[in-house]
């Protein structure tokens, strides 16, 4: 734990952490503000399908990771990474200015286009972030560094989500949101200027622009080391679960909890805090050693927590009806933050099970990232990480498509989340293979 704290005092880690922190903050502040604005204002007043639009928006943000990760990985291996990061952060400033304009015009399609471009910008930064960690950190610092980055990422998701979710509904919400997004983009750019220069991985690399061919090529790099490939698949499965929960929280809050937008923020807060706790705690549990022995424990904990979350949700629906009758409220009454907790024990069970799910997720994901980085050839590091991003995006886009199909079949949001938890159980076979090979080759 001490080694993790010491990393904040080093130039080889702190500027990168600040850069990625505010990048993730802006992504989630904008995305959550847009989803809440659309769900509670635009959809209600225009009779639009909020669940469908929420899912489409999530898919649009992730689509660039699937389309452009191969190109991003090539750029990160061919060019000096700190210079490339500065250029990417300059693009982010332009995008935040565009976001402000689209909010001012109240253009839903303009905001969706900006959301897509933000996904493109994040796609190009992803391989840089994760390939710089093994380059600048010692082997014994890699678990701790990944833990901080994952914990920091979800802390920025938390803070960005709170900022975007709360501020968008205020009197001058759009103006304040725009000012904040532009300011944090500038801070991220300034921090990127202090990232130490990196070694160029492959100066003779020729950028290939055929997306299909280059994507297949970087995936082949990832498949060279079996443990790396299995780790990537396991990481991608985590993001499928995480994306499903995160994107459906607004719908779950409105249709199941029947609460206001503050409940959305509460659920996202619990989820983000839990992953941060699990990610940082992982280094202490593993004593800075790179192996995957905790991954199966995290996986089984995720399944148990999801099932507990669903059971609590069904109990809550019954208790909510009873609570509304006792309070002489109309059945369509939107509950406040305090009223949600007043419903009964099921409210607390929802929060506790969600917290346990996210803590187990943090314990699950950090060792997998460290194994992937540790076992990958330095020459292909960024491209392998880009392959990871492609698979992550593929799983998340599939999650969006499947969710749309399941909604069209009249399944509820609870049904969908339960299916995710049940399907997670067979994933144990893959997880045990990752761990077995990791320990065997350690």
**Tokens representing residue 347 in the block:** 């409210």
Of the candidates 179, 269, 198, 164, the one whose C-alpha atom is nearest the C-alpha of residue 15 is: 198
Q: What is the pLDDT of residue 348?
A: 95
For residue 344, count CB atoms less than 10 angstroms from its CB and return exposed for 0-12, middle for 13-18, buried for 19 or more.
Answer: middle
117 located within any domain: yes
Instruction: Give the residue carrying structure tokens 């507990």.
Output: 308
Q: What is the pLDDT of residue 248?
A: 86
Quick one: how far is CA 339 from the chain centroid?
A: 29
240 located within any domain: yes
Residue 296 CA to residue 194 CA, distance in Å, equals 38
205 located within any domain: no
Q: What is the pLDDT of residue 94?
A: 95
CB count within 10 Å of CB 439 equals 11
Q: What is the pLDDT of residue 1?
A: 47
Q: Where are the alpha helices (H) located in 42-80, listed in sequence order?
A: 43-46, 50-78
179 located within any domain: yes
The contacts found for 204-212 with CB under 8 angstroms, 24 or more apart, are 205/74, 205/77, 205/78, 207/71, 207/74, 207/75, 207/78, 208/70, 208/71, 208/74, 209/71, 211/67, 211/68, 211/70, 211/71
Give the 3-state secondary structure of 354-407: HHHHHHHHHHHHHHHHHHHHHHCCHHHHHHHHHHHHHHHHHHHHHHHHHHHHHH
Q: What is the pLDDT of residue 280?
A: 80
What's 293's domain CATH number?
1.20.1250.20
Residue 38 CA to residue 36 CA, distance in Å, equals 5
321 located within any domain: yes
Residue 149 CA to residue 15 CA, distance in Å, equals 12
Could you tell me if 373 and 292 are in contact, meaning their C-beta atoms sit under 8 angstroms apart? no
Q: What is the pLDDT of residue 423?
A: 86
Residue 430 domain boundaries:
13-194+218-440
| Contact residues for 330 (Cβ-Cβ < 8 A; gap 6+) | 324
429 located within any domain: yes
25 located within any domain: yes
Low-confidence stretches of the chain (pLDDT beneath 50): 1
Residue 18 CA to residue 34 CA, distance in Å, equals 24
347 located within any domain: yes
Residue 421 CA to residue 265 CA, distance in Å, equals 22
User: Which residues on neighbouring strands pair with residue 79, listed in sequence order?
Assistant: none
Q: What is the pLDDT of residue 49?
A: 66
- For the chain, how many structural domains are there in total? 1
């Amino acid at each position: 734990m001490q080694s993790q704290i010491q990393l904040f005092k080093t130039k080889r880690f702190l500027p990168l952490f600040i850069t990625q922190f505010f990048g993730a903050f802006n992504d989630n502040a904008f995305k959550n503000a847009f989803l809440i604005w659309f769900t509670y204002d635009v959809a209600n007043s225009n009779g639009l399908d909020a669940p469908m639009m929420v899912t489409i928006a999530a898919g649009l943000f992730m689509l660039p990771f699937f389309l452009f990760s191969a190109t991003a990985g090539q750029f990160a291996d061919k060019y000096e990474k700190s210079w490339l990061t500065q250029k990417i952060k300059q693009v982010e400033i332009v995008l935040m200015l565009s976001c402000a304009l689209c909010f001012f015009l109240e253009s839903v399609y303009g905001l969706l286009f900006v959301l897509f471009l933000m996904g493109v910008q994040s796609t190009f930064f992803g391989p840089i972030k994760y390939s710089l960690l093994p380059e600048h950190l010692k082997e014994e610092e890699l678990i701790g560094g990944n833990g901080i980055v994952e914990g920091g990422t979800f802390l920025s998701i938390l803070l960005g989500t709170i900022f975007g979710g709360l501020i968008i509904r205020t009197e001058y919400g759009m103006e304040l949101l725009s000012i904040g997004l532009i300011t944090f983009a500038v801070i991220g750019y300034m921090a990127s200027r202090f990232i130490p220069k990196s070694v160029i991985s492959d100066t003779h690399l020729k950028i290939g622009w055929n997306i299909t061919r280059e994507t297949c090529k970087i995936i082949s790099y990832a498949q060279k080391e079996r443990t790396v490939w299995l780790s990537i698949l396991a990481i991608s499965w985590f993001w499928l679960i995480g994306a499903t929960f995160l994107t459906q929280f607004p719908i779950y809050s409105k249709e199941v909890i029947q609460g206001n937008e503050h409940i959305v923020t509460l659920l996202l807060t619990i989820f983000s805090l839990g992953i941060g706790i699990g990610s940082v705690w992982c280094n202490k549990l593993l004593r800075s050693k790179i192996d995957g022995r905790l991954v199966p424990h995290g996986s089984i904990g995720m399944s148990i927590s999801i099932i507990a979350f669903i059971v609590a949700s069904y109990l809550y629906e019954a208790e909510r009806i009873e609570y509304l009758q006792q309070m002489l409220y109309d059945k369509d009454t939107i509950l406040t933050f305090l009223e949600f907790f007043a419903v009964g024990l099921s409210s607390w069970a929802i929060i506790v099970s969600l917290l346990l799910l996210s803590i187990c997720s943090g314990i699950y994901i950090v060792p997998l990232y460290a194994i992937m980085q540790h076992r990958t050839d330095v020459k292909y590091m960024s491209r392998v990480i880009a392959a990871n991003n492609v698979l992550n995006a593929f799983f998340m886009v599939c999650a969006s498509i499947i969710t749309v199909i399941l909604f069209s079949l009249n399944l509820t949001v609870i049904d969908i989340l339960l299916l995710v938890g049940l399907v997670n159980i067979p994933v144990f076979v893959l997880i045990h293979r990752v761990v077995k090979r990791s320990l065997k080759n350690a």
